[in-house]
Amino acid sequence: MKKSIVFLTFLLLIVPVFAVLNEYGGLNVEYNNYLHIASIKYEPYPAEPGKYFDLWIKIQNSGIDKADVKFKLIPKFPFSLDANEIAERNIAGLSAGETTLLHYKIRVASSAVEGSTPLDYEAQVGNARQSANMNIWVQTIDANVDISSVKTQILVPGKITPVEINLENKADSPMNNIVVKLDLTATTLPFVPINSTTEKKLFFIEPGKINSVIFNLMALPGAAANAYKVPILIKFTDGTGKTYNKTGLIGLVVGSSPDLMVTTSSSDIYSKGTGNIALKVTNRGLTDIKFVSANLKPAKEYEVISENNIYLGNIDSDDYETAEYRIKVIKVKKGIVPLQLELNYLDANNNNYSEVRQVELKIVSAKDLGISNNGGAGRIIFVIIIIGAGYYFYRKWEKKKLAKK
C-alpha cells in the first residue's frame, strides 16, 4: 500500500509526458522513474490511408521492484483495430530493469487526412494511471489523379458540343484543389470554349472515386474534318499540401453525318422500252465524302443493260456527281419506275457507309408532251401531200417552159 502511494505521488510530481519523433518514425516516451516507454516504432513509414501499419512499443520497468503493468491503445479516427486485435495488454510481474515488447496491427481509414495524427494510449501501474499519445505520420505514397474516360460526340463545325472529362483519384487519400485545363492556343486546333474558360476546378476527390468536369466546345464553322490532339494539364494537391502537375493528351474528332440527295438528272425514256438515264448524287453535308460508288440494283420493273456499278470518286461538300445507265423499262405503275440505287462511300474521317436510295423515274408519255398519235399521222400525211403537190406543179411548170422553146 505504501509503495502504491509513493508511486502515485511520483506521478503527480513528475514533468508531463513528452514525445520526440526521430527521423525513423520512432518515439521515446518517459513516464517516470518506475515506467519507461523505451521506444516506439511503426512500419511502413509513413503509414498509408486505406492500409495497415505495424506498431511496436517497448516498455521498461525503471523502478527497483516488480510491477504489474497495464497498457491500453485507444485508437480514434482515422485509426482502428480489427476485432481480433486486443487493445488492452496486461504485463504481470515486470521485474526491475526488465523490458517487454508489445505489437499492434492498426488500420488507417481510406479517408484519412495526410499529415501527423495522434494515436492515444494509456499506461497503468497498480492504481496509478497516465494517458499520452504518439504521433503517426500518414501520407499516401502514390498520389495520382488520372483521366478515366472522355465522353463526347463528333464535333460538328459551328455547333456546341459538351466534352465530359472523368477524373479518378487512384490514391489512398483525398486529393484537393484539382484544376483541369485544356490548351487550345495552338493555331492548328479549331476549337473555342463557349460560356466558360478552358479551365475547370474541383475542390476534392475522395480516394477511389470519379468526378467529372464538362467543357462546352465549338468546332469553328470552317474546321476540317479530322482527329485532333488536345493537350491537357491536371494540377492537384495531397493532404500535406504538396502540389502535383500532370500533362497529357485527349482526342477530339471533327466531322458530321453525310447528307446525300439522289435525283434523276435526265432520261430519254417515254414509255416501256430501252433508253438512257442519268442519276445525280449531291453531297448536302458539311464535310466531303470519298470513294463513292453507285450500284443500280436490278428489279422487276426494269433491267439494267449497261454496267450497273459506277465509280464516282470524291464528292465535295455542296457538289455533285452523275451516274449514267442504260436500262430497259419492263413495268410502269402510275407513270413511275422505282429505281434502287446502292451508294457505298467513306466520310472525311474514313467511316464506312452503305445505303440504298429509291429514286423515282417518271415516264413521260407522248400525251403528256401534248402529242397525240392521230395528230402525228395526220401531219405525216399532210407533209406527203405537200411534197407531192409541189412535185406536181414543178413538173407542170417545167413542161410549159420546154414547150415555149
AA identity, residue 192: V
Sign of the torsion formed by the C-alpha atoms of 365, 368, 373 and 378? negative
Does 31 or 173 have the greater pLDDT score?
173
Q: Which pLDDT value is given to residue 6?
A: 40
Determine contact, residues 49/110, Cβ cutoff 8 Å. yes
Per-residue confidence (pLDDT) for residue 62, from 0 to 100: 82
Cβ neighbour number for residue 76 with a 10 Å cutoff? 11
Q: Could you tell me how many residues make up the chain?
A: 405
CA 136 to CA 144: how far, in whole Å?
22
Backbone dihedral angles phi then psi of residue 402, each to the nearest 5 degrees: -70, -35
State pLDDT tens for residues 214-253. Answer: 999 999 999 999 999 999 999 999 877 889 999 999 999 9
Residue with cell 476546378: 201
Indicate the helix (H) or strand (E) that contains 218. Answer: strand 210-219
pLDDT of res. 25: 35
pLDDT tens track for 124-163: 887 788 888 999 998 877 778 999 999 999 999 999 999 9
The average pLDDT across 47-52 equals 89
The sign one gets for the Cα dihedral 18, 20, 21, 27 is negative
Convert the pLDDT of each residue in 4-39 to its tens digit. 434 433 333 333 333 333 333 333 344 444 678 878
Q: Domains for the chain: give ranges and CATH numbers.
A: 2-138 (2.60.40.10), 145-254 (2.60.40.10), 260-362 (2.60.40.10)
- pLDDT mean across residues, the chain: 84
What is the pLDDT confidence band of residue 378, given thresholds at 50, 70 and 90? low
pLDDT at 15: 32
The predicted model scores a pTM of: 0.59
Phi and psi dihedrals of 74, rounded to 5?
A: -120, 80
Closest CA to 356 of 341, 345, 339: 341
Query: What does the alpha-carbon distance between residue 256 and residue 259 come to, in Å, rounded to a whole number?
Result: 9
The 10 Å Cβ neighbour count of residue 234 is 20
pLDDT of 34 reads 67
